[in-house]
Amino acid sequence: MVTLAVVGAGSRGASYARHAVETGQARVVAVADPLAARRARFPGAAQFADWRELAARPRLADAVIIATQDREHVEPAVRLAELGYDILLEKPMAVSEEDCRSIVAAAERSDAVFAVCHVLRYTPYTRALKRLLDEGRIGEIVSIQHLEPVGWWHQAHSYVRGNWRRADESTFMLLAKSCHDLDWLVYLTGRQVTRVSSFGGLKHFRPENRPEGAADRCLDCPVEAACPYSARRIYLPLAGREVWPLSVLTEDVSEAGVLEALRTGPYGRCVYACDNDVVDHQVVNMEFEGGTTASFTMTAFTPSLHRQTRVFGTRGSIDGDGERLTVHDFVTGRAETVETRPTGDSTAGGGHGGGDEGLVDAFLAAVATRDRSSILSSPRASLHSHLIAWAAERSRLNGETVTLETR
């Protein structure tokens, strides 16, 4: 059985660790988090208020899950790699190219089993799609259309009211939310990106779009009932349940606890009266080695759905909605539907369509056997996806096409 330490026992860290424990593959022997209530999620584990206290001890576990806030990844990742821990690192790796390169160097020096949480690579849906492409079912890939439907309430929760609302406190939205979409497109094509252009911005969640008469908080607002982003409507129906996203608001998930969080905490604020500055829509155009192209759209203004993708090849095309794939054969003129039956929905609460479980299972197998073949992305492959995100953000801000170095 693999022994685990958890650094950052919030929603993501606890979710990964919970799956590892519930499947009998691992046990948590140490947890580092500033909040005592989060540390208490792992009874019997050694508890530390800071990861540095863990790092000051001789190595306590085979591997560590690092799921701190984005800007707090680099120091524990580098130090714990030096101490010999295998590492499962939440995405993004870090919020600067320099820090990402430091993490890659530390992982390579230590020869650690190292995986970034690019969960999209590990879903049953992705496995089925990748198999079809590798079998040549549609010939050579010429172009791809890919949509990430963030979801109106998810945008409001995480990127307007929540931890990822400001680039200076976290990072820009494409890196925070979609570095694994960019990684996924590289994985599908098997080729690196050479050129990037991008457009987008913060269109809607701005003070000038605030409805007349709206209050600063939803619980006090006379027009809340007609607002799509009502915190009362999003969170109160979940009262009494230990589920995401409610678990992010408060440790007391009773109705009284939720109401108190909405009265006093950040998640009860009017979405037009927050201090957010990250985009709510963005498009990214990519050119790959060999001339294949892809267009990626990330937008807040959708239902919360699985990602949707169309892959166009020289002998056919594939349409996918996260649950099923429709293969169109240009030779026979026939269409075949492949059901992938993902476990859970597309959200973090739903395990990203089986991606969370698939990732954790692959990581633990690699730690237990020292066979890294189950890990589907190397540290340098993860770095490339992050470099695409930075190139896209430079393009969006400066109006330029950015060329990337490959290999």
What average pLDDT score do residues 297-304 get?
A: 96
**Amino acid letter, residue 390:** W
**Amino acid letter, residue 41:** R
Q: What is the pLDDT of residues 354-386, one digit of tens each?
A: 889 999 999 999 999 999 999 999 999 999 999
The pLDDT value recorded for residue 19 is 94
For residue 167, is pLDDT > 80? yes
pLDDT interval class at 345 (50, 70, 90) = low
Using CB atoms within 10 A of its CB, is residue 355 exposed (0-12), middle (13-18) or buried (19+)?
buried
> Tokens 């999620």 belong to which residue?
41
The pLDDT value recorded for residue 348 is 54
pTM of the predicted model as reported, rounded to 2 decimal places: 0.94
Q: What is the pLDDT of residues 185-195, one digit of tens each?
A: 999 999 999 99
**Is residue 91 within 8 Å of residue 114, measured between CB atoms?**
no
Using CB atoms within 10 A of its CB, is residue 326 exposed (0-12), middle (13-18) or buried (19+)?
middle
What sections of 250-325 are H helices per DSSP?
Answer: 255-264
**C-alpha to C-alpha distance for 349 and 314, rounded to whole angstroms:** 38
pLDDT interval class at 344 (50, 70, 90) = low
**Is residue 404 within 8 Å of residue 391, measured between CB atoms?**
yes
**Is residue 78 within 8 Å of residue 110, measured between CB atoms?**
no
pLDDT interval class at 84 (50, 70, 90) = very high
- Give the whole-number percent of the chain exceeding pLDDT 90: 92
For residue 395, is pLDDT > 80? yes
Give the residue among 390, 370, 288, 360 at the shortest CA–CA distance from 65. 360
pLDDT interval class at 243 (50, 70, 90) = confident
Give the residue among 395, 298, 361, 383 at the shortest CA–CA distance from 123. 361
Q: What is the pLDDT of residues 315-337, one digit of tens each?
A: 999 999 999 999 999 999 999 99
**C-alpha to C-alpha distance for 403 and 193, rounded to whole angstroms:** 9
Instruction: Tell me 157's DSSP state.
Output: I
What average pLDDT score do residues 199-222 get?
A: 98
The pLDDT value recorded for residue 173 is 97
What average pLDDT score do residues 271-291 get?
A: 98
Q: What is the pLDDT of residues 26-58, one digit of tens each?
A: 999 999 999 999 999 999 999 999 999 999 999
For residue 266, is pLDDT > 70? yes
For residue 352, is pLDDT > 80? no
Q: Which residue has the higher pLDDT, 304 or 225?
A: 225
CA dihedral 39, 40, 46, 50 (to 10 degrees): 20
Give the residue among 330, 384, 383, 326 at the shortest CA–CA distance from 125. 326
The pLDDT value recorded for residue 349 is 56
**C-alpha to C-alpha distance for 61 and 32, rounded to whole angstroms:** 13
Tell how strand 335-339 and strand 324-329 pair up.
antiparallel
The pLDDT value recorded for residue 247 is 87
**Amino acid letter, residue 337:** T
pLDDT interval class at 305 (50, 70, 90) = confident
Mean pLDDT is lowest, of 133-147, 243-257, 350-364, for 350-364
pLDDT interval class at 251 (50, 70, 90) = confident
For residue 177, is pLDDT > 80? yes
Measured CA distances, 62 to 38, 43, 134, 228, 375 (Å):
21, 19, 34, 46, 17
For residue 347, is pLDDT > 70? no
The pLDDT value recorded for residue 171 is 95
